[in-house]
Amino acid sequence: MTVRAEPAQHAGMRASNLALVLGEVARTSPVSRAQVAARTGLTKSSVSGLVTDLISAGLIVESAPAAAERGRPATGLGLAPGGAAGLGLEINVDYLAAVVTDLTGAPRYHHVVRRDNRDRAADEVVADLIEVARTATASAASQGLPLAGGCVAVPGLAVDGTLVRAPNLGWPEVDLADAVGEATGLEIDVQNEANLAALGEMWFGAHQHEGEPLRDFVHVSGEIGIGGGIVIGGEVFRGAHAGAGELGHVVVAPDGPRCGCGGHGCLERMAGQQEILARAGVATMSDLTRACEAGDRAALDAVTDAGRHLGVALASVLTLLDPAAIVLGGAFATLAPWLAAATSASVSHHTGAADPPALLVSGLGSDAAVRGAAGTVVRRVIADPAAYLTRHTPR
């Protein structure tokens, strides 16, 4: 495709029109050119030209016929499953993960390496992550999927591609964007795992509110650390210093034990995975679920106790934010059969509401963050296809 030199104003207008058209195709497909024109307010001939460009860039394909208009079937347009793909990576306290998601949002590669990363040097874990990333990019290449970039989910605070603070890993600052970017040749973004898990849930989860995907909700990631992803109006609320949503450090037991953050009685100390395992007297999450299934008293007590403390924190979250729903993710999703009833009862008790907002269980579980990371990359292409075309114009 040749790119003509255009006045800046025209280039800017073309960029926003490309985004308008691709956004409409992403929202409802199959969709006809005429429907796109009607919904975007662009003329049929400009839509036609823009669609041609998006097809030659590999971002749109002609798909099944769209709904017949006045009895005349029109060709349907859809996102190209072979178009720009996203690489999602995750470093968590006890695993590394990679996902490749195609432009339609479908996962095309998924791999998890379980290993406790707490007693390991950052360099060593980053080297392992790069290995995981290389295997994922090789899989994308073998499937003919062009990667538009990557995003790493981290259990801590990330600023401009650097992991600044990760209390549960105890690492110094790590410039992940540079290290992973250099090794993979991709542009890499780094974001907090709880925020990405909330986005993953919004984009790929099954839950809805009044027939629409959730747009106002809080996603609770219960891994070794507990994080909250606050979504307001379809956007993650990050706070003034990117630290919003630290649900694990909300106080639920004022006289409770000291926490790694320096505070006392934080939710993470009362309902974190590590605390639940210790109280249940088991070593791993699979031991814990097995013990719960077998009706082991200590395991069930540990889980319901954690559920009650979680409910105390969520009661405040509901009062403060009035979300449409709270989604339990990560280990809390795994433990939901034994935990959710205690959490609901605790929420009702502390809010005084007989009918509090829905407490939902994520179907994505611990995959939400890495799915959200990959989704961030493809969503960016859909939001600004012109930027993608500039960087990835086919020969």
The residues binding Zn ion (CB under 5 A) are 249, 259, 261, 263, 266
Closer CB to Zn ion, 71 or 262, in the complex: 262
Compute the distance between CA of residue 343 and CA of residue 10 in angstroms, rounded to an integer.
Answer: 55
Closer CB to Zn ion, 82 or 263, in the complex: 263
- With contact defined as beta carbons under 8 Å apart, do 304 and 350 qualify? no
Q: Taking the complex as a whole, how short is the minimal distance between the CB of residue 251 and Zn ion, in angstroms?
A: 8
Closer CB to Zn ion, 266 or 310, in the complex: 266
Closer CB to Zn ion, 61 or 259, in the complex: 259
Amino acid at 390: T
- Peptide bond connecting 30 to the previous residue in cis, omega within 30 degrees of 0: yes
- Cβ-based neighbour number of residue 46 at 10 Å: 16
Q: Taking the complex as a whole, how short is the minimal distance between the CB of residue 263 and Zn ion, in angstroms?
A: 4
Q: Taking the complex as a whole, how short is the minimal distance between the CB of residue 268 and Zn ion, in angstroms?
A: 6
Of 323, 339, 332, 341, the residue nearest 362 (C-alpha): 332
Q: Taking the complex as a whole, how short is the minimal distance between the CB of residue 171 and Zn ion, in angstroms?
A: 18
Q: Taking the complex as a whole, how short is the minimal distance between the CB of residue 279 and Zn ion, in angstroms?
A: 18
- With contact defined as beta carbons under 8 Å apart, do 189 and 177 qualify? yes
Closer CB to Zn ion, 169 or 378, in the complex: 169
Amino acid at 167: P
Closer CB to Zn ion, 44 or 258, in the complex: 258
Compute the distance between CA of residue 220 and CA of residue 268 in angstroms, rounded to an integer.
Answer: 12
Compute the distance between CA of residue 119 and CA of residue 354 in angstroms, rounded to an integer.
Answer: 45
Task: Look at the block and give the residue holding tokens 């249940």.
Answer: 280
Compute the distance between CA of residue 280 and CA of residue 257 in angstroms, rounded to an integer.
Answer: 18
Q: Taking the complex as a whole, how short is the minimal distance between the CB of residue 106 and Zn ion, in angstroms?
A: 38
